[in-house]
A and B are shown apart, each in its own frame.
Chain A
Amino acid sequence: MKIVVDKKEYEVDPRENLLEACLGRGLDLPYFCWHPAMGSVGACRQCAVKVYRDENDARGRIVMACMTPITPNLLASIDDAEAREFRAGIVEGLMESHPHDCPVCDEGGECHLQDMTVMTGHNYRRFEFPKRTFHNQYLGPLLNHEMNRCIQCYRCTRFYTEYAGGKDFAVLKLRHLVYFGRAEAGVLENEFSGNLVEVCPTGVFTDKTLKRHYTRKWDLQMAPTVCAHCALGCNVTAGERYGTLRRIVNRYNGQINGYFLCDRGRFGYEHVNSPKRIRSARARRDAGAAEIPKAEALDRFSSLAAGGKTLGIGSPRASLESNFALRALVGPENFYAGVSDASYDLLAAMLQVLRQGPAPASLRQIEHGDAALVLGEDVTNSAPRLALTLRQTIRQAGLEQAEKMRVPRWQDHAVRELAQKDHGPLFIATPYPTRLDDVATETYRAAPDDIARLGFAVAHLLDPASPAVPDLAEPLRALAGRIADTLQAAARPVVVSGTGAGSAAVLRAAADVARALAKAGKPVAFSLQAEERNSLGFAMMEPKPLGRAVDAARAGEVQTVIVLENDLYRRAPAAAIDALLAAPHVVALDALETRTTAKAELVIPAAPFAEADGTVVSSEGRAQRFFRVYPPAGGVQDSWRWLADVLGLLARPEGLAWKDLDDVVEAVARAFPSLARIRDAAPGAGFRIAGAKIPREPHRYSGRTSMLANIQVSEPKPPEDPDSALSYTMEGAPVEPPAALLPFFWTGGWNSIQAVNKFQEEIAGPLRGGDAGVRLLDQAAGGAGTLARAPDGSASVPVAGYLDSVPAPFAPRRGEWLIVPRHHIFGSEELSAEAPAIAELSPQPYVALGPSDAAALGAAPGAVVNVKSEAGSASLPLRVEPGLPAGLAALPAGLGPLAGIPLPVWGRIELGR
């Protein structure tokens, strides 16, 4: 549709409001309360423009652009003197009580309020009365609170309570004394609280972890990278100064994280600065361990790798390139999976299911679904950002209802008032209660096998050709009926599952539901969650199961074991790993000390995510390139580079051929046809814009000539980056790079992260040139199948037939419990747990029972009980978890003395002494 702004014609989307239309066309118009993901509420009145009835209307009238729908031939003016004066007046009002403390404010230099103040031209204060002042609250280890800076735009409560479903936050009082915080000081409970840092247009909510090593945005060296803490592949920007990683901010990706991250992703980065970092190579000599120079490390490494039978243990948290280099060094027949055999089977099942189709959906596709089934997965804790997405999925029904009543989607409060508490259907079947239950239509608590049976039953109802479930109890049959009816009635059903419950049956049941829907012609958004950053990509490299490596070691067939970025003690019972690492020689490459590195004869300092380049494949099957933020200090380098160096020393052809990352990427692509497209995940190292590389440092980066003066007076030459098109400088490409190479969002007059508006094709749409990453599983191959539409409704993908066997109902045992994993956003993931702020929020190890089982055991909450299973035993405090069904116990995943035992497992629990 055509509109005219300041006498110029623009083509705009009629579903937008005038503010979005203007911003999307590159026009500058200030705003505060509007948020591209949260819509308009018309509170701040900052986005005022003039609109005119027709060409003859000379006076026009002031409207809020964010509340003005696009109408044909709309005539508007941003530049009108009265509108400009009004906007300046609004900033003047907002600044009445603002403390003007920019020099000591953490937001300074990337403050939307600063930007808008400059944009409107407000310079001199006329308000001469005392400013109102507030007490601040302690909000936990993640966020600072400085309420005096508040401008009452309401974005924080809108995000925290309305968008993210948080309960422990509110707006208190009224008039110019409105207070945003908690009813009582205390740790913010919502898993997405960190977004307040970016949602707040000024410095009320700032990053407490950044404060401890504070650096202005303009002094940060930044690079585009991919979150290291789950398999969703959220895009993040990491920033460094003086060799330490300072913070993470959201990097918009329209298909994945959009504008928001979870708190694990935002605050987990500090593992990189951990005292446990391995900063140089170390070799065990007779009288203990000692640091050795890089050359010696390489010598030893290559002689160990060449001397006899060598196994390589890969890693789901390491890049494709590092895994591939290890595989190249030891040979495919000696390349093993660094995950438990149970996880291995799950991953294999997941990959198989995804390859058969329907292809995995992006978070955006899930968000646009209108009815969802979550089978077995506690997404808030295993793939947190997905939980935030599902909260929006259930709003689609209300949004559509509103649109039918001609209330536009962006009219946020009108849409919410219309929908009230009615939301779209969400069914959650998990072994224990989840943090999404508050918006669930129905929940089902059961053992994994019963959850799988529910899924199969739903699939069978949707498509009788899928396997029937024998002996289905009546309540379950009825529930399956309600779920099947709902999904059947939905226009865009969503099916979510994953490896979180540790059950392949659950995974397959979810797949059958998705297939049945696809067969019925539904554009189903199907999503399976893997555990780690590169679980799926790693699985695609076809490693062998770890158990066989252990067997080989036990049989004494192994000379050397090389462990890549992996604490194997988290993967399998200690006895098995002890046996494996009892091989004559063990080499471990990792960034942080672990129980595994402690066992190694040679420890190689691998670069953590912020100091490394590589490619990872998310649960969506999206391959994404991540880039070094800064060159690692000392002997640290990428694992793949260490391994390439060793290959070189051994004069192996790969080693001689691999000069940079692109060469390894190319080798991976050639070796695995299914990974061929990773070439396109990002432009290669040779990419240039107008002959220049892309600077990691902003144009205002300060102190370059002097920041190292305490070491050397003359300014050192900036380091080279052979592996990417990014440079460690502030000079470079004058125009914006492709999305995959965007080191930060910043443009003239827009210093805050809200500059992202200027990088999108349309507001909240893809970044210009397309969002980063390539999807690998779209042309799902294999199996004869029917045709169905892809989740976006466009292409056709083949869907395989059903080939599943339905498990028997769960049978509780006397004196034994089926111990299931209970995931924790803070604590279950290995790397983030090393970040102090996250560690503070992690639970202490425990074992959980439902109230009736706990009572039967005669144990009070907190009592120490003994947990015994074949895979290991420990004494742990008892946690009573309401909602955990009888016969099930839960252990925190990845946490505590039993972190290595594969779950679920049968075990005994007895009162301790």
Chain B
Amino acid sequence: MLTPEEQREIEEEAAHFPLRRAASIDALRVVQKHRGWVSDDAVKDIAAFLDTSPDDIDSVATFYNLIFRKPVGRHVIMVCDSVSCWVMGYEGLRDRLKSRLGIEMGQTTSDGRFTLLPVVCLGACDRAPTMIVDGQLHANLDLETIDRILERYP
């Protein structure tokens, strides 16, 4: 079931479209904001709320990169793997994160603290390499700064 707050937030978006179902991405984002990810049940609830089918919603949900259809950790690290960051040392950064956290890209640490994901160019190429943690941008990264940044996310 969608919470009243989720419903209100989705309704607010839907009201600005001529068709309810147009708010599908907004709805997915709302649910994810509150729950971290979008479960199969949530897909069904959103579908019902927007007068469409779960298949229709899932078709949209599985298309987009920022919609998580699997549970994620408390903090989501998204490392930019696009060209400028790659030139500026993405691979080293990625390997450091993997070994620090003991997981592969796409995985979540066993304590549920971090999920590590690649992301495309974050539009901060002049400050490469970059990553975002819980939506917050971290730029001009090097192997040392990473460690300090991670500590800020208990």
> CB of A717 within 8 A of chain B?
no
Q: Which residues of A contact B19 (CB under 8 A)?
A: 420-421
Say whether, besides A170-B56, A170-B58, A183 and B43 are in contact (CB < 8 Å). yes
Contact between B55 and A168, CB atoms less than 8 A apart: yes
> CB of A184 within 8 A of chain B?
yes
Q: Closest CB-CB distance, A672 to chain B, in whole Å?
A: 50
**Which of these binds chain B: A74-82, A171-179, A741-749?**
A171-179
Q: Which residues of B contact A168 (CB under 8 A)?
A: 53, 55
Contact between A169 and B55, CB atoms less than 8 A apart: yes
Q: Closest CB-CB distance, B57 to chain A, in whole Å?
A: 8
Say whether, besides A184-B40, A421-B19, A172 and B56 are in contact (CB < 8 Å). no
Interface size on B, residues (CB 8 A): 14
**Distance in angstroms between the alpha carbons of A420 and B21 in the assembled complex:** 12
- Beta-carbon nearest neighbor of A177 in chain B: B62
Q: Which residues of A contact B59 (CB under 8 A)?
A: 170-172
**Binary contact readout B55-82 vs A (1 if CB under 8 angstroms, 0 otherwise):** 1111100110000000000000000000
Contact between A174 and B55, CB atoms less than 8 A apart: no
**Binary contact readout B74-92 vs A (1 if CB under 8 angstroms, 0 otherwise):** 0000000000000000000
Q: Closest CB-CB distance, B38 to chain A, in whole Å?
A: 12
Q: Which residues of A contact B58 (CB under 8 A)?
A: 170, 172, 183
> CB of B118 within 8 A of chain A?
no
**Distance in angstroms between the alpha carbons of A170 and B53 in the assembled complex:** 10
Q: Which residues of A contact B62 (CB under 8 A)?
A: 172-174, 179
Contact between A173 and B55, CB atoms less than 8 A apart: no
A-B Cβ contacts below 8 A, count? 34
Q: Which residues of A contact B43 (CB under 8 A)?
A: 183
- In this complex, which of B18, B19, B63 has the most chain A Cβ atoms within 10 angstroms of its Cβ? B63
- Beta-carbon nearest neighbor of A182 in chain B: B55
Say whether, besides A183-B43, A184-B40, A421-B19, A167 and B56 are in contact (CB < 8 Å). yes
**Distance in angstroms between the alpha carbons of A169 and B54 in the assembled complex:** 9
Q: Which residues of A contact B53 (CB under 8 A)?
A: 167-168, 170
Q: Which residues of B contact A171 (CB under 8 A)?
A: 59
- In this complex, which of A161, A168, A172, A420 has the most chain B Cβ atoms within 10 angstroms of its Cβ? A172
- Beta-carbon nearest neighbor of B44 in chain A: A183
Contact between A170 and B55, CB atoms less than 8 A apart: yes
Contact between A183 and B54, CB atoms less than 8 A apart: yes
Q: Which residues of B contact A170 (CB under 8 A)?
A: 53, 55-56, 58-59
Q: Closest CB-CB distance, B42 to chain A, in whole Å?
A: 12
**Distance in angstroms between the alpha carbons of A529 and B43 in the assembled complex:** 40
Q: Which residues of A contact B18 (CB under 8 A)?
A: 420
Q: Closest CB-CB distance, B66 to chain A, in whole Å?
A: 14
**Distance in angstroms between the alpha carbons of A184 and B63 in the assembled complex:** 16
Q: Which chain A residues (166-218) contact chain B, with CB distance < 8 Å?
A: 167-174, 179, 182-184
**Distance in angstroms between the alpha carbons of A677 and B117 in the assembled complex:** 72
Q: Closest CB-CB distance, A831 to chain B, in whole Å?
A: 32
**Distance in angstroms between the alpha carbons of A167 and B54 in the assembled complex:** 8
Q: Closest CB-CB distance, A182 to chain B, in whole Å?
A: 6
Q: Which residues of B contact A161 (CB under 8 A)?
A: 56
Partner among B40, B55, B63 whose Cβ is within 8 Å of the Cβ of A167:
B55
**Distance in angstroms between the alpha carbons of A420 and B52 in the assembled complex:** 14
**Distance in angstroms between the alpha carbons of A167 and B40 in the assembled complex:** 16
Q: Which residues of B contact A420 (CB under 8 A)?
A: 18-19
**Distance in angstroms between the alpha carbons of A168 and B44 in the assembled complex:** 12
Q: Which residues of B contact A169 (CB under 8 A)?
A: 55
Partner among B52, B56, B57, B63 whose Cβ is within 8 Å of the Cβ of A173:
B63
**Distance in angstroms between the alpha carbons of A420 and B90 in the assembled complex:** 44
**Distance in angstroms between the alpha carbons of A791 and B96 in the assembled complex:** 75
Q: Which residues of B contact A182 (CB under 8 A)?
A: 55
Q: Which residues of A contact B57 (CB under 8 A)?
A: 183
Say whether, besides A182-B55, A183-B55, A174 and B40 are in contact (CB < 8 Å). no
- In this complex, which of A169, A170, A179, A420 has the most chain B Cβ atoms within 10 angstroms of its Cβ? A170
Q: Closest CB-CB distance, B143 to chain A, in whole Å?
A: 32
Q: Which chain A residues (495-539) contact chain B, with CB distance < 8 Å?
A: none
Q: Which residues of A contact B55 (CB under 8 A)?
A: 167-170, 182-183
Q: Which residues of B contact A167 (CB under 8 A)?
A: 52-53, 55-56
**Binary contact readout B19-62 vs A (1 if CB under 8 angstroms, 0 otherwise):** 10000000000000000000010010000000011111111001
Q: Closest CB-CB distance, A774 to chain B, in whole Å?
A: 43
- Beta-carbon nearest neighbor of A180 in chain B: B59
**Distance in angstroms between the alpha carbons of A421 and B53 in the assembled complex:** 15
**Distance in angstroms between the alpha carbons of A227 and B52 in the assembled complex:** 34
**Distance in angstroms between the alpha carbons of A179 and B56 in the assembled complex:** 13
- Beta-carbon nearest neighbor of A420 in chain B: B19
**Distance in angstroms between the alpha carbons of A183 and B53 in the assembled complex:** 10
Q: Which residues of B contact A172 (CB under 8 A)?
A: 58-59, 62
**Distance in angstroms between the alpha carbons of A170 and B57 in the assembled complex:** 9
The 4 tightest CB contacts between A and B, nearest first, are A170-B59, A167-B53, A170-B55, A183-B58
12 extra A-B contacts, CB within 8 A, seeds A170-B55, A183-B54: A161-B56, A167-B52, A167-B53, A170-B53, A172-B59, A172-B62, A174-B62, A179-B62, A182-B55, A183-B43, A183-B57, A183-B58
26 cross-chain CB contacts under 8 A: A161-B56, A167-B53, A167-B55, A168-B55, A170-B53, A170-B55, A170-B56, A170-B58, A170-B59, A171-B59, A172-B58, A172-B59, A172-B62, A173-B62, A173-B63, A174-B62, A179-B62, A182-B55, A183-B40, A183-B54, A183-B55, A183-B57, A183-B58, A184-B40, A184-B54, A420-B18
Which residues of A are at the interface with B, using a C-beta cutoff of 8 A? 161, 167-174, 179, 182-184, 420-421
Which residues of B are at the interface with A, using a C-beta cutoff of 8 A? 18-19, 40, 43, 52-59, 62-63
